[in-house]
Structure 1
Amino acid sequence: MKKDIFTGMLVGLIANSIGLILVATLFGNGDDFTHVIKAAANEGFLGKLISLGAILNLAAFFVFIKKRQDYRARGVLLITVFVAVFTFVFKLF
């Protein structure tokens, strides 16, 4: 059970990272990934990029639900909630 939750959390982190890279690439106008992230942090919309990157977690969540791997889906959901809380706190400061 704990192994499945950890696996789901790992998949959620990887999906979120890949989503962040895709979003930065799509909205970066051909700039380097690190340049886009630095510019987003300077201009105050890094939290929005991270939140958009979490959209891939939705796909991972529904794949696990479809396969009846509920504990892995729970892990993805935990990471998604963590990302939401992180972006909320990041936005405050």
Structure 2
Amino acid sequence: MIKKEVIIGLLVGLIANVMGLYFASLIFGEGKDFFTVLSTASNEGILGKLISLGAILNLIAFFVFIKKKQDYRARGVLLMTIIIAVSTFVFKFI
């Protein structure tokens, strides 16, 4: 049961990050489509920063789960945020 709640939190964190990445690409993409913005950001070396901006929506999901007293789902969102941060860090230095 606890494992299921953490997995739901992980999925919500992943979806929130992808949505945040999409919204960040809309804001900073200057009217280009999503994949063009991602490839341009990768070529310019700012993809990690764009992914980090996308993780802001994880904050909202985390606090919603805390407010609803769904601590294990909030733990999953926090774990996904940590995974994203570590992967962004690794991606930056590769």
Band the TM-score falls in, shorter-chain normalisation: over 0.9
> Cα offset for 1:91?
0.7
Q: Where do 1:12-91 residues align within 5 Å?
A: 12-91=13-92
> Cα offset for 1:8?
0.3
CA-to-partner distance for each residue in 1:34-84, whole Å, 9 max, x for gaps? 100000000000000000000000000000000000000000000000000
Identity of aligned residues (%): 66
Question: In structure 1, how many angstroms separate the alpha carbons of the residues matched to 2:16 and 2:28?
Answer: 18
Gap regions ≥5 residues in structure 2 = none
> Cα offset for 1:14?
0.2
Q: After the TM superposition, which segments of 4 or more aligned residues of structure 1 sit over 2 Å from their partners?
A: none
| Residue equivalent to 2:10 | 9
In structure 2, give the amino acid aligned to 1:46.
L
Gap regions ≥5 residues in structure 1 = none
Q: CA RMSD in A?
A: 0.4
- TM-score under structure 1 normalisation? 0.99
Question: In structure 2, how many angstroms separate the alpha carbons of the residues matched to 1:54 and 1:6?
Answer: 18
